[in-house]
Amino acid sequence: MQDVEITLRLPLPLLQAAQKLAKTRDESLGRVMRMALAAEVKRAGRAAKTSNRTDEQLLGPLRTLLAVDFGRACDWRELQGRLKAKGYILREAGGGLALHGFPDGPRLCKASELGHSYGSLMKRFGQPLPGHSHRWIANKVLGEPGALTANGRGAFGTQPLEQERPAATHRSRPWKPSLGT
């Protein structure tokens, strides 16, 4: 590669900072400037990373269309059935879920962008999505598999965990089961 000599005008504070950096690194000012310019050219040449975030104009109508289905489903099978009836399906996407067109449609958005994270759905249904490959997430969210089966309930692949009534501490307030989040 052939080097070409150029003249460069710099503001004095920038030149002084570059000289200080060169001295600190025990390199020539020319080398520091060539390395900085090479790094900038390389950075600019890379394609900008596109956002995985879904357009809000798509999310609003999808949230509205699917809110009742997400709210009323009692388990994964019912949720998937409700979504399929409207032309959608949830599929594994990394450590979470994504909404796709059904049967072979494109990825539309993450479930969490609709307000329903994989963890919250897993807690609500008491088990991971059948076939989801990241079992460690289920262990983290629901506890170790052995701990879930100690009382004979909640093993992966069974019906959702029943909500147990906590020990009474305040008799003035009746106990109400939570709807899950």
In the predicted structure, residue 43 carries a pLDDT above the cut 90: no
Cα dihedral 71, 77, 80, 85, rounded to 10, equals -90
What total number of domains does the chain contain?
Answer: 2
Residue 46 within any structural domain of the chain: no
pLDDT of residue 159 exceeding 60, the answer is no
Q: Is the pLDDT assigned to residue 113 strictly greater than 70?
A: yes
Taking residues 42-54, report their average pLDDT.
64
Between 128 and 149, the higher pLDDT residue: 128
Q: Among all chains, which residue has been given the structure tokens 């990373």?
A: 49
Give me 80's structure tokens.
Answer: 């998937």
Segments forming the whole domain that contains residue 31: 12-38
Residue 72 pLDDT exceeds 50: yes
In a domain, 30, yes or no: yes
Q: Do 16 and 96 fall into the same domain?
A: no
Q: Are residues 28 and 71 both part of a single domain?
A: no
Which among 127, 135, 35 is positioned nearest to 95, based on CA atoms? 135
